[in-house]
Amino acid sequence: MLDRFPITAGGYKRLTEELGNLKSVERPSIITAIAEARAHGDLSENAEYSSAKEKQGFIEGKIADLEGKLSRAEVIDIQAIKSDKVLFGATVNLIDEDTDEKFTYQLVSDYEADLSKHLISVGSPLGRALLGRMVSEVAEVQTPKGIKYYEILSISFQ
């Protein structure tokens, strides 16, 4: 059996919605596009048909991928976690010790990480460095520009 992985309720919902959209909107749309392209005649020289079949393959692959992820997902109730250490789902306030710049990140699964939303993967270099640490501890992270040090200002589970 494939390994299960933790995911937040929000991440699970987003994956489920994406799967629903692919099955109920994208798949029927591409089937219609294939039928229309097929109606234009000779399929061997029909670029619209080839393009639609290629897109269908992509959509079917994405559906299979999402179904596999969802079947292995273990939804974690973040609000039920009571810990003074950084764990999966924690929202962590940090300060860069070199620049005094402050950051806030939530540690999530690889499948829901999105830096623009301040969601970082527990498997990322920063995520790995933060796991198990407590407030006032310093996380050391190897970056392309050298080692960075981040002090943990607060930890919450929300």
Which domain CATH number covers 125? 3.10.50.30
Question: CA–CA distance from 118 to each of 82, 103, 107, 121, 156 (Å)?
Answer: 22, 9, 9, 10, 14
Q: The domain containing residue 13 runs over which residues?
A: 5-76
- Same domain for 87 and 105, yes or no, is yes
pTM over 0.85: no
Output the six-digit token pair for 101.
Answer: 């710049």
- Same domain for 60 and 95, yes or no, is no
- Same domain for 22 and 52, yes or no, is yes
- Same domain for 65 and 100, yes or no, is no
- Same domain for 68 and 95, yes or no, is no
Report which of 23, 97, 105 is spatially closest to residue 59, judged by C-alpha positions. 23
Q: How would you write the pLDDT of the chain (158 residues) with one tens digit per residue?
A: 468 899 999 999 999 999 999 999 999 999 998 888 778 766 667 788 888 889 999 999 999 999 999 999 999 999 899 999 999 999 999 999 999 999 999 999 998 999 999 999 999 999 999 999 999 999 999 988 899 999 999 999 98
- Same domain for 56 and 9, yes or no, is yes
- Same domain for 26 and 90, yes or no, is no
